[in-house]
């Protein structure tokens, strides 16, 4: 099972990335646990300075932009 984390403080872009991630997981059929990381100190532990960010299995895949569901699916492979 993949562990997916959305890094962001709850802004509209962060919420959109979360929704797109849910759609990507559903469409791909990949088993995944999606969680939000909203505390600035926790976000900084990933070395991310700009949100939203997508983290898959502990690896930052994207930061500073809202990926589409299709782009997120490519990161899940």
Please write the tens of the pLDDT for every residue from 4-49.
Answer: 999 999 999 999 999 999 999 999 999 999 999 999 999 999 999 9
CATH number, domain at 36? 3.40.30.10
Angle at 64 between CA 18 and CA 22, to 5 degrees: 15
Angle at 50 between CA 43 and CA 30, to 5 degrees: 65
Tokens of 65: 């932009």
**Domain tally, the chain:** 1
pLDDT at 77 over 90: no
CA distances from 27 to 33, 69, 70 (A): 15, 9, 9
Q: Which residues are catalytic?
A: 11, 14
Range of the structural domain that residue 16 is part of: 2-75
Model-level pTM?
A: 0.94
């Amino acid at each position: 099972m993949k562990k997916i984390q959305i890094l962001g403080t709850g802004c509209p872009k962060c919420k959109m990335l979360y929704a797109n991630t849910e759609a990507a997981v559903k469409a791909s059929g990949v088993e995944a646990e999606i969680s939000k990381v909203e505390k600035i100190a926790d976000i900084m532990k990933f070395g991310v300075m700009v949100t939203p960010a997508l983290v898959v299995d502990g690896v930052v895949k994207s930061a500073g932009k809202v990926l589409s569901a299709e782009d997120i699916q490519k990161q899940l492979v």
